[in-house]
Amino acid sequence: MPDRNRCGCPPLPLETLYNARDLGGYPVAGGRATVCGRFVRTDAPVRLSDTDRLTLLAYPVSLVVDLRSRSEISHLPHQLKGQPGIVYHHIPLLGADLESDLARLQQQDVLNRLTLADLYRHMLDQSQAAIGAVMTVLAAETTGARLFNCSHGKDRTGLIAALLLGLAGVPQEQIVADYQISEVYLKPWFRQFIRQVPRHERHFFQTPARYMQDTLAYLTQRYRSAADYLSCCGVTPASQNQLVALLTEEAGRV
């Protein structure tokens, strides 16, 4: 796994977000790299210190897309919602009540057989309207950085990050590397409660490379490319071009 500090984007100096990083600094064709300060992926900002809140406002984060379910938000509201200069959007990627859906799957003994790669493939096939809405919002005209998050910042957030990087032409091995970083960043936090999680469910708190590798292989096999897939989701060519420009073009050229 590459050292993200050497990819071009300095780490975000945050103490109350465990899994935050900028999508800048990844290689694209022509010897260029994705641009820092445009897209930030994080776990849910629900326990922000005043210092971290001010850091994000100064970055500056100007747009937030919260991928969590309505039930998750009702328990832990987003602390950037309503902050000055920030436009907040709630677009759930896995339905309105995640806890009820997971409980239903557990009763059916489905969770024991599922992997996270299965979940990612499910989202690619069944959450296209939501993914299309997310990408259209992220492409909207605004200055500053666009922040998107789910709960832990690794699964729903990881899929959106993979699609953005794939659309920009970042090599698959780098997309996988960005995904794997979550396992490193979240390990100290997960270590606090993982023993309380049933052993057969602990794989949901890991991000081995094979999960994203399998997902990208499925994306290529079924949809050909990130651009073709996003077209299936209703993301217009203009919005896709805007996303690529945001990811790859220096300030003043977007």
Structure token digits, residue 70:
């309505």
Q: Which residues pair with 63 in a beta bridge?
A: 87, 146
What's phi and psi for 53, nearest 5 deg? -60, -45
Q: How far apart are CA 241 and CA 237, in angstroms?
A: 6
Yes or no: say if 128 and 233 are a contact pair by the CB < 8 Å rule. Answer: yes
The answer to whether 9 is a known catalytic residue is no
- Which one of the listed residues 7, 9, 150, 233 is annotated catalytic? 150
Candidates 156, 147, 129, 137; CA nearest to 230 is 129
Question: Which residues 6+ apart lie within 8 Å of 194 measured at CB?
Answer: 202, 205
- List active site positions: 150
